[in-house]
């Protein structure tokens, strides 16, 4: 993949015109189109943004990662990887409220995954909402069930709950 600079990615002139036509924009949204489709941004361009977001996260540039993931969820709110990336980035920035919202969207999109519930619990503990944090840990354990893929997460959720309850 050819490396591009952020200055290489431009909003097409016609996209700017389209966005200024509120009536047309409402009509397109009513058809169920994503912002990506409305703006005419290719899947390849979106993939470049996703790779940039992952790069920022891996390099611990969490604010840049959060901003890039926020752009991605705006383009395509149905992509759960973007929501999870936004949630994790926001959490690492200490924006626990924003992380909660994004983890909730992740859980909504993939209701049977224990991952968002586990990280929701972390944010809730950080916000001193221990009652809901315990409930989130219970959901993480329940969703992990006996799935070997989530065995470690389940163990951590049980340990976190036991640790918290032992301090009460």
List, for residues 23-81, the tens digit of each pLDDT value: 888 888 899 898 899 888 899 999 999 999 999 999 999 999 999 999 999 999 999 99
- Which of the 8 DSSP states describes residue 33? -
Domains detected in the chain: 13-98 (1.25.40.10), 112-168 (no CATH)
Q: Which has the higher per-residue pLDDT, 11 or 66?
A: 66
Between the CA of residue 118 and those of 30, 48, 131, what are the distances in Å?
35, 29, 14
The whole model's pTM is what? 0.84
Summarised one tens digit per residue, pLDDT across range 140-156 is 999 999 999 999 999 99
- Burial of 49-71, coded b for 16+ CB within 10 Å and e otherwise, reads bbebbeebbeeebbebbbbbbbb
* Contacts of 89-92 spanning 24+ positions with Cβ under 8 A: 89/53, 89/56, 89/57, 89/62, 89/63, 89/65, 90/66, 91/119, 91/122, 91/123, 92/57, 92/60, 92/62, 92/65
pLDDT of residue 7: 46
- Which of the 8 DSSP states describes residue 59? T
Instruction: Indicate the burial class of 26 (C-beta count within 10 angstroms; 0-12, 13-18, 19 or more).
Output: exposed
Summarised one tens digit per residue, pLDDT across range 112-141 is 999 999 999 999 999 999 999 999 999 999
pLDDT of residue 73: 96
pLDDT of residue 144: 96
A 10 A CB-CB count for 99 gives 26
pLDDT of residue 28: 86
pLDDT of residue 154: 97
Contacts of 68 (CB under 8 A, 6+ apart): 49, 52, 53, 56
pLDDT of residue 57: 98
pLDDT of residue 6: 47
Check whether 2 has a pLDDT greater than 90: no
The encoded tokens of residue 57 equal 């996260």
Check whether 4 has a pLDDT greater than 90: no
pLDDT of residue 12: 53
Of the candidates 127, 118, 121, 53, which has an alpha carbon nearest to the alpha carbon of residue 95? 127
Check whether 14 has a pLDDT greater than 70: no
- The answer to whether 121 and 128 have CB atoms below 8 angstroms apart is no
């Amino acid at each position: 993949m050819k490396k591009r600079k952020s200055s290489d990615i431009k909003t097409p002139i016609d996209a700017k015109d389209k966005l200024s036509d509120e009536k047309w924009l409402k009509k397109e949204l009513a058809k169920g189109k994503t912002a990506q489709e409305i703006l005419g941004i290719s899947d390849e361009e979106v993939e470049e943004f996703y790779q940039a977001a992952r790069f920022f996260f891996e390099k611990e540039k969490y604010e840049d990662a959060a901003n890039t993931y926020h752009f991605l969820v705006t383009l395509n709110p149905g992509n759960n990887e973007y929501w999870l990336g936004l949630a994790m980035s926001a959490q690492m920035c200490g924006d626990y409220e924003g992380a909660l919202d994004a983890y909730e969207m992740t859980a909504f999109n993939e209701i049977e995954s224990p991952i968002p519930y586990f990280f929701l619990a972390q944010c809730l503990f950080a916000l001193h909402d221990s009652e809901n944090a315990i409930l989130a840990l219970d959901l993480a354990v329940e969703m992990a069930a006996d799935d070997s893929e989530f065995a470690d997460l389940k163990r951590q959720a049980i340990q976190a709950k036991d640790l918290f309850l032992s301090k009460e």
